[in-house]
Amino acid sequence: MHKRSDKVAEAIHELVSGLLVKGIKDPRIGFVTITGVKVTDDIRHATIFYTVIGTDEEKKATSHGLGSAIGFIRKEVGKELRLRFAPELVFKYDQSIEYGNRIDRLLKEIGSEDGDHD
């Protein structure tokens, strides 16, 4: 059985993903994908993990845009999920995809070097 915090995390994931597509018109926010949401057991804090495609400058601009939108997003989360207290939200850049891509490149480089020695 899922804990309540897991259900709230799933709902926040869906809601914030939708808001980023339709509800937030900040030009600084680029092509963002929500990769996960972690909510504390008391539902007081939520960390929203995201990735963004673009240059380092575009990633930084997106981070600032998300930071500016936190109040609006928190209000929408509280209203849509009918929570007595909307959780404090923190956006955290998820580097796991970049790490995975780097590992893939390194493995390909190693594989091509091994092929040269056959």
Which of the four pLDDT bands, split at 50, 70 and 90, describes residue 114?
low
Q: What is the pLDDT of residue 101?
A: 79
Q: Where are the domains of the chain?
A: 4-116
pLDDT digits 0-9 by tens, 7-60: 999 999 999 999 998 888 899 998 899 999 999 999 999 999 999 988 999 999
Residues, the chain? 118
pLDDT at residue 76 greater than cutoff 90: yes
Q: What is the pLDDT of residue 68?
A: 95
Q: What is the pLDDT of residue 118?
A: 45
What does CATH list as the number for 4-116?
A: 3.30.300.20
pTM for this entry: 0.82
**What is the C-alpha to C-alpha distance for residues 37 and 55, in angstroms, rounded to an integer?**
24
Q: Is the model more confident about 50 or about 95?
A: 50
3-state SS assignment for residue 41: coil
- 3-state secondary structure string across 50-99: EEEECCHHHHHHHHHHHHHHHHHHHHHHHHHCCCCCCCEEEEEECCHHHH
pLDDT digits 0-9 by tens, 48-72: 999 998 899 999 999 999 999 999 9
